[in-house]
Structure 1
């Protein structure tokens, strides 16, 4: 998911007079941020193509079982659980722009092996699982570095604007990528569609190559770089002790656990039980992406009217009952109702993401930002492979639709830790500590 101030510890900066509020569009006025936004947009569009590509290739071409589809989905997000925490320490030691470029180039090379193996008649589940895991490693580094790069590009007052733009771009990529992915897979086959995703990684790397500004984290210039275990501990401590990040991490982790079950088994249900084509599945997911676009649009309006704290948990509580409509996916009106529920789920997730990412970037010291971002990613995204594996167990014993019902029930209750925390009494989230 940005500052024009010099890239140095805040304690060494002289006092500056109060500045007038920065216009909401200020983030987009910075060329470096626009290039990063373009990289994220094309990167995420390619990622959405692959999101559909993996299960559809596995089911349609390799005749994978629900358990194998779950294993494939788990492999794609396992990296957040395996290296999520140390990745933040490494990102804080390195120049973030170079991390982004290296992640994109590596992703290109990995994804390009899929169409090549298919053309040679050698594509198998083992290769798909390996590519999914290794591209997941690339994604860990790209996401942590990108979120840590934003504050140095746009300035602290434009963080909400920047994150709304980034999440809006992500929403647009969901709509375009899922719809495009479904049609590409149906028209050109899944392996070719994944080859298109490989090209998007090159485009993203080209955009980041021309970004100027953002600076390097202070720790990267020091000879006495902190040990890995201490860096991981510092990130964890910051999150656990923060009155907002701690409860939010718990709630979001539970939500992601059950959302992972949903995203893993929903394509299986839509294809095998409802009888949709690959293109129709792409359109179904694209419609849900509209919810993310709406979330990016309404978040600034809602937070101005009701406050960040109230919107954070009330939006979750009000949307939760609608999640129970998603397992009703069927023909006709039942399909429309399920699409609406999926749309609402995406809308609520986008609202929470914008508020929490902006808060995290605003209150975290720059030299610690990579580790804190990685800790949150570990807590949130680390649940995705667990959910994917759990979906396979449920689907194998009770069927794919039963997995959707378990996921719907869990997602509708995941907001409770936030409601029981101090966040529920906050109209506005705490300001950054004085330094």
Structure 2
């Protein structure tokens, strides 16, 4: 009679198959991969490549735990290539030479090599260049994996020889499917009520490997009945959100915050601010960027916005974290609801571009000071009209270089305080035309 503790594989004495759950559930066919259907389907990029029998070098760009390593291994199986896996963190030039030499010998004997390089963006330029000749002559098919934007982290030469494929984070349905597979493998349901199960999936934050690690922790507990959400969150720590203060997530989130402010959505703006703070972003960096938003996107439509941002920055410096972060939140709300204008921003850029073109053109002599007799003899200050003495305190004189066409840079919007500035500017334009016609 079989022992009471026979394992799931029928081996006496084993309570469960050996090895981590993530390894036991690793797909054996591409059709078993959860998520990434837009890449792996028959009409997707990888499905099309495999149907054509031609697999080029690839760069997989995506967050952790979405199947980059698994898909690379399965691609090697599908193409009958020898699979070699290395990490850019631990591999130096000497190890790379051995990998290339082994691939060369296999090629001579008629077998290709799929070289999977994890964290490929961590190789420096010289190391990345070392792959190029072996990719070009067919010695290897490179499949690189990176969590960082390849446009910024990989050489142009390497990118030109590989196709970049974007892998997305797993959504709730994907994670639910993975949890169901885990339950089938373990042979028991997760001891969670529906709210707790949903919370477990949220804790994984789109990372399949993280979910399976959480499941393993959960199943190791001795519980008498289903846990509720409070009991689960008390025992399990939520996976830290993916956020690298110097990486791609940093730039993506600050872009989202800026565009939510520009789009006058205070709720979305607060959400992205909170995401960055939760990720450990330096509040001083956020204070600086928020102040920039006031200058670039609100401008003179609400001159008070800039002052409010500076006050929020100063408040944070006085209070510190976390209390001072509330001031940054208030500034974000104010900016999102403020009238928007980039007229001053565009005017400044246009003036800079014109200044670059005109080079060293001097100011007209009539607006130059003449502190010496020699300067007066050369016409400095001659004909200058003192505006306070003119009608309406406006002379209408030319202040651009002689011979230069008058520039028109500032075009205020008919919004907020800038509406009043537009009225003033229009009045000056009419008065200037009137003075020119007199």
TM-score with structure 1 setting the length: 0.21
Q: Considering only CA atoms, is the larger Rg found in Structure 1 or Structure 2?
A: 2
Structure with the higher helix share, 1 or 2: 1
